[in-house]
């Protein structure tokens, strides 16, 4: 069971869907910093997450030090923290990364939406199995959230699987 889950998470699953659309260009320096996870199709480690935040820091070697923290099952639950490392694999757009949680597995990570002021983003995967809707603030307008769901639906996601992540600060 664990091996099957890891293969699914880290991109060893074959898919007949075309590659997901990515944003044309990401300024990595502007993208760095903290992002609140507004909603997601959660991985097994994220189920029950509250106050989820993903933070990125560009390292001198070009890798992206990542910290993902959340409270498990409630706002007062135990804090969980993970530290994967990102690597940009499409230097033309900076929108395609590989994220390594466990060596040697690297997960597909694609920036499929990023608004002009870098306040809202969506991270997707070609497999359409996981997605993260994130913002610089712990809330997002209903109008913007609905537009993102429509975008993800057009990209081939089953948006019924997307769940909001409770945020209370």
Please give the model's pTM, rounded to 2 decimal places: 0.89
Length of the chain as a residue count: 169
Summarize pLDDT for 107-146 with one digit per residue, the tens. Answer: 899 999 999 999 999 999 999 999 999 999 999 999 999 9
Q: How far apart are CA 139 and CA 42, in angstroms?
A: 18
Residue 117 forms part of a structural domain? yes
Structural domain contains residue 90: yes
Range of the domain at 114: 2-164
On whether residue 169 sits in a domain, the answer given is no
8 Å CB contact between 34 and 134: no
Q: Quote the strand ranges of the chain, DSSP E.
A: 33-41, 49-58, 64-72, 79-82, 85-88, 96-100, 107-114, 120-124, 131-135, 163-164
pLDDT in tens, 35-76: 999 999 999 999 999 999 999 999 999 999 999 999 999 999
**Span between the terminal Cα atoms of the chain, in Å:** 36
- CATH number where 133 lies: 2.40.128.20
- The structural domain count of the chain equals 1
């Amino acid at each position: 069971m664990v091996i099957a889950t890891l293969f699914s998470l880290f991109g060893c699953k074959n898919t007949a869907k075309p590659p997901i659309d990515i944003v044309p260009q990401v300024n990595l320096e502007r993208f760095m910093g903290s992002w609140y996870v507004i909603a997601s199709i959660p991985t097994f480690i994220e189920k029950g997450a509250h106050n989820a935040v993903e933070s990125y820091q560009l390292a001198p070697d070009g890798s992206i030090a990542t910290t993902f923290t959340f409270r498990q099952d409630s706002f007062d639950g135990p804090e969980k923290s993970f530290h994967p490392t990102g690597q940009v694999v499409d230097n033309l757009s900076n929108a395609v990364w590989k994220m390594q949680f466990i060596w040697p597995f690297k997960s597909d990570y694609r920036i499929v939406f990023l608004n002009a002021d870098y306040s809202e983003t969506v991270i997707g995967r070609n497999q359409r199995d996981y997605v993260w809707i994130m913002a610089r603030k712990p809330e997002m307008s209903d109008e913007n959230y609905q537009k993102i769901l429509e975008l993800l639906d057009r990209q081939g996601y089953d948006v019924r699987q997307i769940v909001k992540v409770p945020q209370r600060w």
